[in-house]
């Protein structure tokens, strides 16, 4: 029987065998969730997203474990490894995990608390429940923006900085908020189409900042900046 924690914002399907006792479940507040005996991944967010969960403590003790779960993500377009960083000496372990993800073409998401891990699950599920193809496209766009950190593409770097500067020009939106918005929606275009409730549930934003974002993208720009002379 599904446990309802919020109305009509997507369903997280949880692997009953592997995740029943996981503490992150108690932090799920903004999505419904249910248990399944049939899914092979740990969490399922929509039909196209499969998630494996890994504690770094567990990985340190059982470094070969996650490799045995490779086939459990087969059939999903978006394959996610959600890692809980619960040790201090993360460098070597993170290097190993990142190598595994690159080899298997998994998306690596790092969380630093059970609450943060649950928020990532909620954001994936909420977005995918609205439009799976849009989320896949938005995620791809965000990954392209991430590539500018290498400094290899000046055009992408310029686009990234412009997007970030535009978002931080919104009242109460800081750099962290801007990056979270780009990470979750993928592009300025998708952010501009998002609703208040979608934005408010992102980590660190809330209803007030969400209203500021929506207001910014729905105001009459010609009125604010003056009409273009013809």
Domain ranges of the chain: 11-130, 132-225
Instruction: Write the DSSP assignment of 74-100 as a string of letters.
Output: TT-SEEEEEEE--SS--HHHHHHHHHH
pLDDT tens sequence across 18-61: 999 999 999 998 788 999 999 999 999 877 889 999 999 999 99
Whole-number Å distance between alpha carbons of 145 and 156: 6
Arithmetic mean of pLDDT, 177-189: 83
Output b/e per residue, 138-165; b: 16+ Cβ within 10 A. bbebbeebeebeeeeeeebbebbeebbe
* Whether 118 contacts 201, CB under 8 Å: no
What's the CATH number of domain 11-130, 3.40.50.150, 1.10.150.530, 2.30.42.10, 3.40.50.10130? 3.40.50.10130
pLDDT reported for residue 137: 53
Q: What is the pLDDT of residues 159-174, one digit of tens each?
A: 777 888 888 888 888 8
Q: What is the pTM of this model?
A: 0.58
pLDDT at 156: 60
Confidence band, pLDDT 50/70/90 cuts, at residue 5:
very low
Q: What is the pLDDT of residues 83-104, one digit of tens each?
A: 998 887 777 778 888 889 889 9
pLDDT (tens digit per residue) in 131-154: 555 554 555 555 555 555 445 455
List the structure tokens of 75.
């059939």
Q: Which CATH number fits domain 132-225: 3.30.465.10, 3.30.300.30, 3.40.50.12780, 1.10.150.20?
A: 1.10.150.20
pLDDT (tens digit per residue) in 52-78: 999 999 999 999 999 999 999 998 988
% residues pLDDT > 90 (the chain): 29
The predicted pLDDT at position 108 comes to: 86
Q: Give percent of the chain above pLDDT 70.
A: 77
């Amino acid at each position: 029987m599904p446990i309802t924690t919020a109305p009509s914002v997507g369903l997280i399907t949880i692997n009953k065998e592997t995740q029943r006792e996981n503490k992150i479940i108690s932090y799920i507040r903004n999505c419904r969730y249910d248990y399944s005996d049939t899914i092979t991944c740990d969490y399922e967010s929509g039909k196209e997203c499969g998630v494996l969960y890994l504690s770094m403590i567990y990985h340190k003790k059982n470094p070969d474990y996650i490799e045995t779960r490779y086939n459990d993500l087969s059939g999903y377009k978006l394959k996610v490894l959600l890692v809980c960083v619960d040790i201090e000496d993360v460098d070597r372990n993170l290097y190993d995990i990142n190598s595994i993800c690159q080899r298997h073409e998994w998306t690596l998401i790092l969380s630093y608390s059970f609450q943060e891990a649950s928020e990532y699950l909620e954001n994936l599920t909420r977005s995918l429940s609205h439009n799976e193809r849009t989320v896949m496209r938005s995620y791809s766009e965000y990954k392209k923006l991430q590539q500018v950190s290498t400094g290899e593409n000046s055009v992408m770097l310029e686009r990234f900085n412009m997007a970030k500067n535009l978002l931080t020009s919104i009242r109460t939106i800081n750099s962290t908020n801007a990056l979270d918005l780009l990470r979750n929606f993928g592009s300025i275009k998708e952010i501009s189409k998002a609703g208040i409730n979608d934005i408010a549930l992102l980590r660190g934003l809330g209803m007030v900042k969400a209203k500021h974002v929506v207001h910014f993208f729905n105001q009459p720009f010609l009125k604010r900046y003056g009409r273009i002379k013809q």
